[in-house]
Amino acid sequence: FFEHLNELSRVTMSRVANLCIVRKALAREDTLFHPSEEATHMYIVALGRLKYVRIERCGTELGTEAVDKGEDWIAEPVLWIVSWPHIGRLTAMSESDFLCVSPRAFGEVVALNPSAYVFAQSYCRNFVTWLCSTSPEELSDISQGELIGNRIRCFMGQESLPVKSEMTDSVSKTKAMFSKTRLTGSRIFSG
């Protein structure tokens, strides 16, 4: 998304870099977030290695995955929907450094440029459609670039994304959870 946004509008991407991003450091074994905490930023790993543990509401650990610099990003839904509760725990395995993207500032900055705004609206619509069609058991705070590159291209309109028709009950429940998109509040996600 950010690479395409940069190609579309270098000015917008420069504003995002200057106005929407702060750095955050974690020491080894520090935890960035816990399950059920409200996400405040999308995170891009700039340095380090982390461990993500997906945890059920009852406290059962479902699985562990490594989160690495250069391939993974964290809590992307917070950019596109008003509320994203973390569904796992993220802990630094080594000293780590993040780029933290503020969703509110991001929405305001992207809304300034008409072509960036239209692009972000389209991506948001596709992302939220995918999010609503995904069963809660399949959701994660972590986006692993090597695994979801095709999906991201679909969100940008470069490929078609199949929707799982057998998940209609799950879709209805998830849509209720994600009934408001963040761009509604900042003008980006309306429509």
What is the structure's pLDDT at 185? 44
What's residue 187's pLDDT? 39
Chain centroid offset of residue 128 CA: 11
**What is the chain's alpha carbon radius of gyration, rounded to the nearest angstrom?**
16
* pLDDT of amino acid 183: 52
CA 144 – CA 74 distance, rounded (Å): 9
CA distance 106 to 186: 9
DSSP string, 45-63: EEE-EEEEEEE-TTS-EEE
Is 90:141 a contact under the CB 8 Å cutoff? yes
Closest CA to 88 of 136, 142, 45, 134: 142
pLDDT at 159: 44
Helices (H), the chain: 2-8, 10-19, 77-80, 103-110, 114-133, 145-155, 168-177, 182-186
pLDDT in tens, 53-73: 998 877 778 889 999 887 788
Do 131 and 180 meet the contact criterion of CB atoms below 8 Å apart?
A: no
State residue 138's pLDDT score. 85
How buried is residue 147: exposed, middle or buried, by Cβ count under 10 Å (0-12/13-18/19+)? exposed
d(CA 154, CA 64): 27
Give every residue of the chain whose pLDDT is below 70, as ranges: 145-191
Helices H / strands E in the chain, number of each? 8, 9
